[in-house]
Amino acid sequence: MQIQTNGNGHKQSGRSARELDFAPAPVDVYENEQEILVVVDLPGVAAGGVDVSLDGSELTIEGRREGRSPARLRRTFTVPRSVDPDRVGATMDAGVLTVRLGKRDEVKPRRIAVESVD
């Protein structure tokens, strides 16, 4: 599995012709205070067949399935600024991809200790 992150906001162009070759896969998106989770069903796709890349605010997930029924898919999302490009990770399990997008520390809620003054 490859995870690429590129913080400088550079965008690739000329992608539209290839886009037609890809079809969407079902995706769940969850969020808590620490991170955003993107979960994708990719049956038949091995860990080596997945590319996850974060280019500026654009998250791209691509999967390739080899073998008897080859397929390709791509989903692209715009992620909020709160995501820290250094805290992106992905795991593949039983044909399900989970991408974890950790948030920057400054956007996480902070617990402030209450001091007693008496």
Partner 1 sequence: MLTLWNDWPSPWLGDPLREAGPFRDLRRQMDRMLEELDRHAPSAAERGGPRFTLEDKGEALEVRAELPGFRREELEVQLERSTLSVRGRREVSAPEGYVTHRRERRSIEIARAFTLPCRVDPEKASAKLENGVLTLTLPKLAAEQPRRIEVQVG
Q: Which amino acid is at 18?
A: R
In Å, how far are 61, 86, 109 from 24, measured between CA atoms? 10, 26, 34
Q: Which amino acid is at 72?
A: R
- Residue whose CB is less far from partner 1, 20 or 114: 20
Chain Cα centroid distance, residue 62: 10
Binding site for partner 1 (CB under 8 A): 15-16, 19, 23-32, 36-39, 41-46, 58-59, 68-69, 71, 73, 75-80, 92, 94-96
CB 49 within 8 A of CB 95: no
From the CB of 86, what's the least distance to partner 1, in Å? 18
From the CB of 118, what's the least distance to partner 1, in Å? 36
Burial 64-89 (b: 16+ CB within 10 A, else e): bbeeeeebebbbebebeeebbbeebe
- Residue whose CB is less far from partner 1, 68 or 110: 68
- Residue whose CB is less far from partner 1, 8 or 69: 69
From the CB of 15, what's the least distance to partner 1, in Å? 8
From the CB of 105, what's the least distance to partner 1, in Å? 18
- Residue whose CB is less far from partner 1, 51 or 58: 58
